[in-house]
Amino acid sequence: MLATLGTLSALPGGGHPSASGDAARSSGSATAAPRTTVSSHSPTPGAGSTTSPTPGTASASARPARTSPSPDTSPAGGKASKPASGVPLAWTVDSQVWALGCGHDYVIDKPPAQVPPPPAEQDAGPWATAQGAVHGRETNVEISVQGRSSTAVVLTALRVRVVGRTAPMPGTAYAMDQGCGGSLSKRYFAVDLDKDRPVAHSVAGNDAGTPIPAVSLPYRVSSTDPEVLLVTARTETCACDWYLELDWSSQGRTGTVRIDDRGRPFRTSGIKGLPRYWYGSENGERQWVPTGD
């Protein structure tokens, strides 16, 4: 399983170009404390943060969702607010980010006749929740990070933790597009999630034929200098549950925040060998049509 991380907007003074993500996000915040591990909003009260010298682990799995009134009914990879817990950062998480704003696959254990037409990207969360959908082949997680004050906070490392790995889920792959145009300049990191201790490595990228040099952490954020990170986690051979850890340092203090879906890991499942459909026209009617892959 392979993940790449791209910086969509960078900091003044950091030498990065700046751009903002299109997908809507929910916000989270925290206040400063040393060596604090913080999770996205947990399904149970009081589970949002722990203070520990080592990062926490997750054991539950779920499916992707953009918004949901209850963590128990929302799939993995959705957006969530962060409880105050001693971290000098505010951040938001959105896993319903499609490639170039229009390309994505979901695995759904339903036949095409029972699956409604694909949604717009901004409506993907409720649609995926209603269909019991899981991200197919890749999950894009967009993380917007900024400091809570003008004091600089340095983002020093990003790690990926794989906490569950099974055979790919059964069902049918449904493609949300048939090709997209345009692209965003990103800073790319490659992560091999199949390793026991995956490490994010800075790699060069490409934007419509224009090479993008590798840019490694650290990055600096403050209340006026945000950073937007895009993590793309891919798999061909598993249904993987995973989350991210982001290390920070500020004024002699250090800590780690956990990036997940409301206290639960994200979930990504391979689609190799599954029937795959896109929404097109057949016999003059709009319907799900086999892609022929």
- Tokens 């795959």 belong to 276
Q: Is the peptide bond before 64 cis (omega within 30 degrees of 0)?
A: no
Q: Which of 218, 225, 75, 89 is nearest to 158 (CA)?
A: 218
User: At 77, phi and psi to the nearest 5?
Assistant: 95, 15
Partner residues linked to 7 by β-bridges = 229
Residue pair 251/153 in contact by the 8 Å Cβ criterion:
no
Measured CA to CA, the distance from residue 144 to residue 7 in angstroms comes to 10
Residue-level pLDDT, tens digit, the chain, 293 residues: 555 555 433 333 333 333 333 333 333 443 333 444 444 443 333 333 333 444 444 333 444 444 333 333 334 445 554 544 588 999 999 999 888 777 899 999 999 999 999 998 889 999 999 999 999 999 988 888 999 999 999 999 998 999 999 999 999 999 997 545 444 445 566 666 566 666 666 656 555 555 656 666 777 888 888 888 888 889 999 999 999 999 999 999 999 999 998 789 999 999 999 999 999 888 888 999 999 76
Q: In whole angstroms, how large is the CA radius of gyration of the chain?
A: 19
- Tokens 């982001």 belong to 246
